[in-house]
Amino acid sequence: MHEIGLMQAALSVALDHAQTKGARQIHRLQLQVGELSGVDPDALAFAFDVVSNGTLAEKAKLELIPVPVSCYCSSCQQMFQPLDWVYECPCCHQLSADIRQGKALELSSLEIS
Amino acid sequence: MCGHCGCKNTRQTLSLHQNVLDKNDHYAEHNRVLFQHLLVLNVLSSPGTGKTTLIQRILRDCDLIAGADPLNRYQGVVRPGVIVGDLATNRDAERLRQTEQPVIQINTGNLCHLEAESVGKAAQQLTLDSLNLLIIENVGNLVCPAVYDLGEDLRIVLMSVTEGEDKPLKYPTMFKSAHAVVITKTDIADVVGFNRKETLEYLRLIAPQALIFELSATTGEGLTNFYAYLNQALSQRIAPAFV
């Protein structure tokens, strides 16, 4: 359950930005959650309810945008989105470990007033 | 007012695109500077796979590691140190200290993984200048530690023959992060009905990037290949300065 720590980190960044802008309230937080980020979205949402309590983000809506994994196939020299956890190129069926997208957990935007 | 058109909407959207793990990654980069003369291993597995037993063996076999590579790529003295993470107790550190090598225990309390900042602090308690191999034994957990960069060179993920062949399918994020996977406790593989072929196939599908080793830290079978790998990694990391 490392999601509490990650949500605390995300909220702390959000609160810093909100305070710099002199905001009184955070209305919406948008996070991009990579499929391979090692984070469970439900646990993240639960963690948000806990850590946002008593902060400017207490009433904020949390939006979690899933980011699918994209891999690069060195044989076909093109990107592909794997269908499951086996990252197999749909053209040549070679396995890829060259993951170009889907690992990150990112605070993408914030709505404040 | 909004500041753009004069409407009454006082809400504004800030576009940030900030990595939530920035703080940890920042400390991990600090660690890389601190560790620049060392080969650093992050050893990961579920509880009970045999991380401590394997590390104990490595600490005792430093001379064997120095001579393990058939091409003798690294022939210098192996000088190890260990940072070991557990939620509670010093038991693992005490076990490892029996080898008379330097060991620092981190107690994470309720935290299910090690983070770069605490590893950096613990490392300050070791005399890093006198070492060339740092082994970090992470908290036993195949989920959370996958996410945290500690500033390591290599991630060594262990699974034992008793844990079920489908472990890589169940914990793909961790196995996909591995530079090497070590199958442990091979001395009891037959007794527990371990299906080697199936395991190797799952590992190939989920972690095609990883080198695979099979060994028993108790009997010593299979250690030579793993030590040759460590020898090569040492030579790439710290040679020629220390050879």
CATH number at residue A50: 3.30.2320.50
- pLDDT for residue B60 is more than 70: yes
Q: What is the pLDDT of residue A20?
A: 95
The residue that leads in pLDDT, B9 or B227, is: B227
Mean pLDDT of B198-214: 98
**pLDDT grade, residue B170 (50/70/90)?**
very high
Indicate which CATH number applies to the domain containing B129. 3.40.50.300
- pLDDT for residue B241 is more than 50: no
- Per-position b or e across B36-61, b if 16+ CB within 10 A of its CB: eebbbbbbbbbeebbbbbbbbbbbeb
Do B85 and B136 touch, CB atoms closer than 8 A? yes
Phi, psi dihedrals of residue B134, rounded to the nearest 5°: -115, 125
Q: What is the pLDDT of residue B110?
A: 81
Structural domain range at position A60: 3-68+102-112
Best of A19, A59, A85, A101 to substitute, by most chain B Cβ atoms within 10 angstroms, is A85
CA dist A98 and B117 (Å) reads: 28
Strand pairing class (B39-44; B133-137): parallel
Structural domain includes residue A79: no
Q: What is the pLDDT of residue B74?
A: 79
Kindly report the pTM of this predicted structure: 0.92
| β-strand partners of B213 | B182
Q: Which residue has the tokens 């170009």?
A: A100
Structural domain includes residue A93: no
Task: Lowest mean pLDDT of A15-29, A82-96, B62-76, B208-222, name the range.
Answer: B62-76
Q: What residues of A form the annotated binding site for Ni(2+)? A: 2
Structural domain includes residue B4: no
Distance (Å) of CA B74 to CA A55, B5, B44, B218 = 55, 69, 25, 25
Structural domain includes residue A84: no
Structural domain includes residue B168: yes
- pLDDT for residue B3 is more than 60: no
Structure token pair of residue B47: 């509880």
CA dist B117 and B151 (Å) reads: 10
Structural domain includes residue B5: no
Nearest C-alpha of chain A: how many angstroms from B143? 7
Structural domain includes residue B159: yes
- pLDDT for residue B102 is more than 70: yes
Best of B9, B14, B139, B203 to substitute, by most chain A Cβ atoms within 10 angstroms, is B14
**pLDDT grade, residue B242 (50/70/90)?**
very low
Count of domains for chain B: 1
Structural domain includes residue A87: no
Structural domain includes residue B88: yes
Structural domain includes residue B232: yes
Cβ-based interface (< 8 Å): residues of A facing B: 1-2, 5-6, 9-10, 13-14, 17, 21, 27-28, 31, 36-39, 85-87, 95-97, 99, 104-113
Structural domain includes residue B140: yes
Count of domains for chain A: 1
Structural domain range at position B92: 22-237
* Contacts B174 to A, Cβ<8 Å: 38
Structural domain includes residue A23: yes
Structural domain includes residue B17: no
> What ipTM, to 2 d.p.?
0.91
* Contacts A112 to B, Cβ<8 Å: 11-14
pLDDT tens-digit readout, A88-105: 999 999 999 999 999 999
